[in-house]
Amino acid sequence: MTQTTISPAGRQAALARTGAYYTAFIALGLVMSSLGPTLPGLAQNVGVPLGQISLLFTARSLGALIGSSSISGWLYDHRPGNPVLAVTLLTMGLLMAGVPLAGWLPVLILLMFGLGLAEATLDVGGNTLLMWTHGEKVGPFMNGLHFFFGVGAFLAPIVVAQMLLLTNDIRGAYWLLALFLLPVALVIGRLPSPAGVATSTADEGVPARPGSVRLVFLVALFFLLYVGAEVSFGGWVYSYALALELGTAASAAYLTSAFWGALTVGRLLSIPIAGHFRPRTILLVDLLGCLASLGLILSRPGSVAALWVGTAGLGLFMASVFPTTLAFAERRMTITGRVTGRFFIGASLGGMSLPWLAGQLFERVGPQATMWAILANLLVACVVFVLLMTASRH
């Protein structure tokens, strides 16, 4: 990565941009985590069962897949970054405002596809612009960026719960979140964009290390399974709690918030932990903790306490899986833009397919089947983890 030299005046501008990007990632967390607690309301709006409404996960993830793999990268390479980010936030606001007004499932699917595109553009942009702002010193700032995403994800279900208590309607929640995006977009649009990095041919010029093609595939597959489990649980635990009568609509929303809150705390705790333990050790503990947490929920399906403890434990152990896997990959192979893109394609495919499957099982078999599917998904991830560790030794 190219070192960025920052003058005192430039440092102030850099910190202003950093604060704006952090706020944008709070907004990203708010938007992305608002879907799960509002699924029943959206299904009622369009008159379809929960099994069909799970198509929203697929549409959203398909938009994110297309946005991550092509559109967003081109935009930030060829246009000033902050205006692109500002327009993206405004677009997200308009789409969020329209979601609760959709009375036909195809329209709602189209809106979710657009949200996926916008979310991917914001995600790629926030990470890229922060790296261009701080250069080689981006490490702690990048940890902060993803921490603030977790803050937004934690707050979203609380916002939904409060608006449901006040209005008994999901429209207020969506409109409030859409309104929050407006000032963030205006602030970012007024700030000077960081200088971009010239397009590099490093992808073609850096030879891959032996076995890296296999490692790239295994890491992408691991991301597919992990992200699928995270999105499935975060998106369906609300409906799971309601279906088993383990809480009211408000308490189920707080349960979802507990999951994302534990994920956020876990990310904060993982910063010092990463400096003392190897990535493979951290990943092993994370996977075992995830299995134990889900096992607690499934072993006591009628216990409210088991559901809350298991949900918090799952969020805590899932927190460091994604960044730790990236750190592990960086030690084992040459990381280029194309390689990173393949990782995120795997992640997008997981977020697109597995929550949809969980929704089908929820509707046709029962809510318990959704949790068993997530457990099976994590068990397969453990197998892939073993294959990844074995392949990395060679």
Check: CB of residue 340 under 8 Å from CB of residue 260: no
Q: Which residues, 6+ apart, have CB-to-CB distance to 116 below 8 Å?
A: 59, 60, 61, 62, 63, 64, 65, 66, 67
Q: Which residues, 6+ apart, have CB-to-CB distance to 351 below 8 Å?
A: 57, 60, 61, 64, 227, 228, 231
DSSP 118-173: HHHHHHHHHHHHHHHHHGGG-HHHHHHHHHHHHHHHHHHHHHHHHHHHHHSSSHHH
pLDDT number for residue 15: 86
Q: Enter the tokens of residue 285.
A: 């503990």
Q: Which helix (H) or strand (E) holds 215?
A: helix 212-243
pLDDT number for residue 1: 42
pLDDT number for residue 24: 95
Show pLDDT as tens, one digit a residue, over the chain (394 residues): 444 444 666 678 888 899 999 999 999 999 988 887 888 889 889 988 877 887 888 888 788 888 776 667 677 777 888 999 999 999 999 999 999 999 899 999 999 999 999 998 898 788 778 777 876 565 567 667 778 887 888 888 888 888 888 888 889 899 999 999 999 999 999 998 887 654 433 444 444 444 478 888 998 899 999 999 998 898 888 888 888 888 788 888 888 888 988 988 888 887 778 767 888 898 999 999 999 999 999 998 888 999 999 999 999 999 888 877 866 776 677 655 456 667 777 887 887 788 888 888 887 888 888 899 999 999 999 999 999 988 877 6
Q: Which residues, 6+ apart, have CB-to-CB distance to 58 below 8 Å?
A: 352, 353, 355, 356
Q: Enter the tokens of residue 100.
A: 């609760």
CA distances from 192 to 16, 80, 154, 189, 196 (A): 10, 9, 30, 8, 12
Q: What is the CA radius of gyration of the chain?
A: 20
Using CA atoms, how far apart are residues 152 and 206, in angstroms rounded to an integer? 38
pLDDT number for residue 206: 40
- Average predicted confidence (pLDDT) for the chain: 83
Domains along the chain with CATH numbers: 12-195 (1.20.1250.20), 206-394 (1.20.1250.20)
